[in-house]
Chain A
Amino acid sequence: MECPACGETSPEGATWCEACGHDLNAEPLPECQACGEREVTDEGYCGICGHKQPEERDHMEFGEDALIAVTNKGKRHRHNEDSVAVGHAFDEAGNVTAAALVVCDGVSSTPGSAEASEAATKAALNVLLSGLSDPVFLANRTNRTQSESGDGSKSDLDVLIESATVAAQNVAAAAPEVESNHPGSSGGPPSSTFVAVVSEPDANGANITVGWLGDSRAYWLGDEALLLTSDHEVEGSLTRWIGADSPNPTPDLASHRFEGLGYLVVCTDGLWRYASAAQELKELVQRLVDQGAAGTTLGSQLIDFANDNGGHDNITAAVWTNHPQPPSVIESRIDLDQHATPEEPTAVGVELAGDDLPEEKSDPE
């Protein structure tokens, strides 16, 4: 066998190169994304051209077909501090009852926010999917039209989103503070925006419930195009967020009934700053769909759109739709459905565990 370091030939089965002492069983170093040399070091830089190798968090895509999520570092920021988690909830028969989407924009001026936002999205999605799949909860939900008649009282779903927010706040507040001498760092504990959305589709449309803190947004883009959230922000500063120094981690809540087909887009300001008005975002999504985008392709094209406009911030979008998916995509969904079981919901980016659901949520009124 040939030594990858010096090229000398050693007997088959040799452990060390006899010429240079290179460990012949050693894993080859990863290939540099910029120059292709296999010299990438533990520090994440190419040992030949010096290029920093992309971090896993720089660009991530989750899900497929009707429920996807994408997140990207953008062009200006050194790290991606956004996080996103999406998943389906199932009833006991294994039918999809709801989709849950959680997006967090970790504040880049407080170091350690990527860890906080990631933990928060996972914790919140965990609470949402466990709650949404709970038989008692599902039984109560069948009577929801009465409980959500607009009398101002909280629905079971409002309470569930609030407890998901509590879970997100708890893990974000526990994220360790990181020291940094970076010029963009203001110091302070890790912090993040938070938006959690549950969509419950039926034959005629969808019921959508949103809870949020900060300036990450949810949009419904159907016959009507509507912004479902209102930013907690004054003169460029967040007024609500999650994290150890949050003055008020109570989410605002909103519920909507939409008839017909549409796209639910949950995103950070890295995307919406370039298409802030709901109608504008709707036209963008429509244009991309008309060009054949679907599933994660739609997601990555939304990222491209933001980067083409400057990529000033981290970019994250979670998309759910009740539009029928193109044939090529439906095929993969059938495949997915065969593998998805009620015990293993299609949650992406999270480890699901039903046993750490907060006590009061498992037995809703």
Chain B
Amino acid sequence: MTGFKAEVFQNEYLPAGVDTIDAVVTVKAEDAEVGVSAQRDAVEIIAIDTSGSMQEEGGAKMHAAKAATQAAIDTISDGVYFAIIGGNAGAYMVYPRDGLAVSSPSTRDEAKRMVSRVRANGGTAIGTWLKAAAFLANQYPHAIAHCLLLTDGKNEHDEPGALAAAIRDCTGLLQCDTRGLGADWDINELRTISSALLGTVDIIPRPEDMEAEFRRLTEQAMGKQVGSVALRLWTPKGSVSQFVKQVAPNLEDLTGSAKPVNPLTNDYPLGSWSGDEERDYHIRVSIPTGNVGDERLAARVMLVIDDAEQPAALVRAIWTDDERLSTRINREVAHYTGQAELASVIAEGLAARDAGDQATATVKLGRAVQIAHQAGNGDTVRLLQKVVDVDDPATGTVRLKRQVNKTDEMALDVRSTRTVRVGKTK
């Protein structure tokens, strides 16, 4: 059984009258036992866009999507239940004919053959594709289920509300990584899906990048060993959990996903974990203030696996009139506060740029360059450099580029929530 280790980073000292405490909780899965994934059923669903637009560029996109899907199929472990869904204005089974197949050399060959026969035409109805994935995953509701969803376009042919309903169907049932090919898809649409379904979203700028990405994502899914993990947060009577955010490897606000366990305790679903995964969480709690000298437990953070609680990490609040203590800045909290600011100034900067507000865009994207430079977000700095010319990264002095590739701008947007961990510099 995989064990979890949680460690708290915080400044527990508060000046008199202050009621809000921040803490970063690092959670690490360890002691992964070989063979756990074999004992636990796994479901892998690949949903590929086969709309008419995939046939553009001389069929290069469809051709690459088929090759990528075939590479992903090769990566599916023996014994895993799997299916390939084709998506257009509806959803249809590419392989198997219905239900799920059990992965073996022969079923994988059969699946690859069926993939090669796919033809691109029709519209895009992502909600319908997800609904089909939920239907399939529901056949093994206790399995670790993962879906890889690819689209090159916007969700144009669903009934209103169909996508939201499909997301609800999938919640708690499967995790979904979404990928957008090219520049004609909607970042917010895919981000909504992957956020709700505890997966990632990214751009695949060129068809030739697809195969490696599909292989990587499927391998990652095969490595998941623990199915339903939740972060259990106890806070004292009279307190308010201001937010619970995943802050590494990427930003994800979990506050809204709280499921009450009892009046003082909530569970935040974290999805499945591999045996050596590490994630960081930033929590902010307001609690009734104490007198100088009082100490109070502000939060207890536990990991819950299949309803079994793992040892807790404690967030404390101690009120003091010693300013040397209360004014100390905790390095981890400051770092992730900066990472959250980085994501929001990128979003604000790009929005201002789209709206033609060059002054605001320059200030915001300049600030982004400055934070990313200081915090060691090398990848983010490189993405920013495709949108702005950097004169001085230390002060955030930048000029907006006149000509920007649409996929470069989208890559900056969609990857703005990727964070670096503390201490990882350049």
Known: A75-B292, A76-B320, A78-B295. A49 touches B325 (CB 8 A): no
Q: How far is the CA of A50 from the CA of B292 in the complex (A)?
A: 16
A45 near B328 with CB under 8 A, answer no
Which of chain B's residues have a CB closer than 8 A to the CB of A43?
297, 312, 314
Known: A45-B297, A50-B298. A76 touches B237 (CB 8 A): no
How far in angstroms is the closest Cβ of chain B from A224? 37
Which of chain A's residues have a CB closer than 8 A to the CB of B292?
75
Known: A51-B294, A183-B325. A78 touches B238 (CB 8 A): no
Choose one: B13, B296, B318; the contact of A49 (CB below 8 Å).
B296
Instruction: Known A-B contacts: A45-B297, A78-B318. Give 15 more (CB < 8 A).
Output: A45-B314, A46-B236, A46-B297, A47-B234, A47-B264, A48-B237, A49-B237, A49-B296, A50-B236, A50-B287, A51-B297, A52-B296, A76-B321, A78-B295, A183-B328
Interface residues of B (CB under 8 A from A): 13, 234-239, 264, 287-288, 290, 292-298, 312, 314, 316-318, 320-322, 324-325, 328
Q: Give chain A interface residues in 58-101, CB to chain B under 8 Å.
A: 75-76, 78
Which of chain B's residues have a CB closer than 8 A to the CB of A46?
236, 297
Decide yes or no whether A184 CB sits under 8 A from chain B: yes
Known: A50-B298, A184-B325. A75 touches B236 (CB 8 A): no
B237 near A45 with CB under 8 A, answer no
How far in angstroms is the closest Cβ of chain B from A46? 8
Which label, helix, strand, loop or mixed, suits the secondary structure of the B interface?
A: loop
Known: A43-B314, A49-B236, A183-B328. A76 touches B322 (CB 8 A): yes
For this complex, 8 residue pairs linking A to B, each with C-beta atoms less than 8 Å apart, are A35-B237, A46-B297, A48-B236, A52-B297, A76-B322, A183-B324, A183-B325, A183-B328
Which of chain B's residues have a CB closer than 8 A to the CB of A78?
295, 318
B320 near A50 with CB under 8 A, answer no
Q: How far is the CA of A35 from the CA of B290 in the complex (A)?
A: 13
Interface residues of A (CB under 8 A from B): 35, 43, 45-52, 75-76, 78, 183-184, 311
Which of chain B's residues have a CB closer than 8 A to the CB of A47?
234, 264
Which of chain B's residues have a CB closer than 8 A to the CB of A45?
296-297, 314
Q: How far is the CA of A78 from the CA of B13 in the complex (A)?
A: 11
Q: How far is the CA of A189 from the CA of B238 in the complex (A)?
A: 41
Choose one: A35, A48, A52, A183; the contact of B295 (CB below 8 Å).
A52
How far in angstroms is the closest Cβ of chain B from A324? 38
Closest to A75 in B: B293
Q: How far is the CA of A183 from the CA of B330 in the complex (A)?
A: 11
How far in angstroms is the closest Cβ of chain A from B167? 36
B296 near A50 with CB under 8 A, answer yes
How far in angstroms is the closest Cβ of chain B from A73? 8
How far in angstroms is the closest Cβ of chain B from A18? 21
Choose one: B13, B264, B328; the contact of A48 (CB below 8 Å).
B264
Closest to B11 in A: A183
Which of chain B's residues have a CB closer than 8 A to the CB of A76?
293, 320-322
How far in angstroms is the closest Cβ of chain A from B23? 14
Closest to B293 in A: A75
- Nearest 5 pairs of A and B residues by beta carbon: A50-B236, A45-B297, A52-B295, A50-B297, A50-B296
A49 near B238 with CB under 8 A, answer yes
Which of chain A's residues have a CB closer than 8 A to the CB of B236?
46, 48-50
Which of chain A's residues have a CB closer than 8 A to the CB of B320?
76
Identify the interface centre among A43, A49, A51, A76: most chain B CB within 10 Å of its CB: A49
Closest to B295 in A: A52
Which of chain A's residues have a CB closer than 8 A to the CB of B234?
47
How far in angstroms is the closest Cβ of chain A from B215? 42
Q: How far is the CA of A48 from the CA of B290 in the complex (A)?
A: 15
Closest to B298 in A: A50
Q: How far is the CA of A47 from the CA of B296 in the complex (A)?
A: 10
Q: How far is the CA of A354 from the CA of B293 in the complex (A)?
A: 41
Q: How far is the CA of A43 from the CA of B293 in the complex (A)?
A: 18
Q: How far is the CA of A78 from the CA of B297 in the complex (A)?
A: 14
Which of chain B's residues have a CB closer than 8 A to the CB of A52?
294-297, 316
Which of chain A's residues have a CB closer than 8 A to the CB of B325?
183-184
Q: How far is the CA of A75 from the CA of B321 in the complex (A)?
A: 10
Which of chain B's residues have a CB closer than 8 A to the CB of A311?
293
How far in angstroms is the closest Cβ of chain B from A253? 37
Q: How far is the CA of A48 from the CA of B237 in the complex (A)?
A: 6
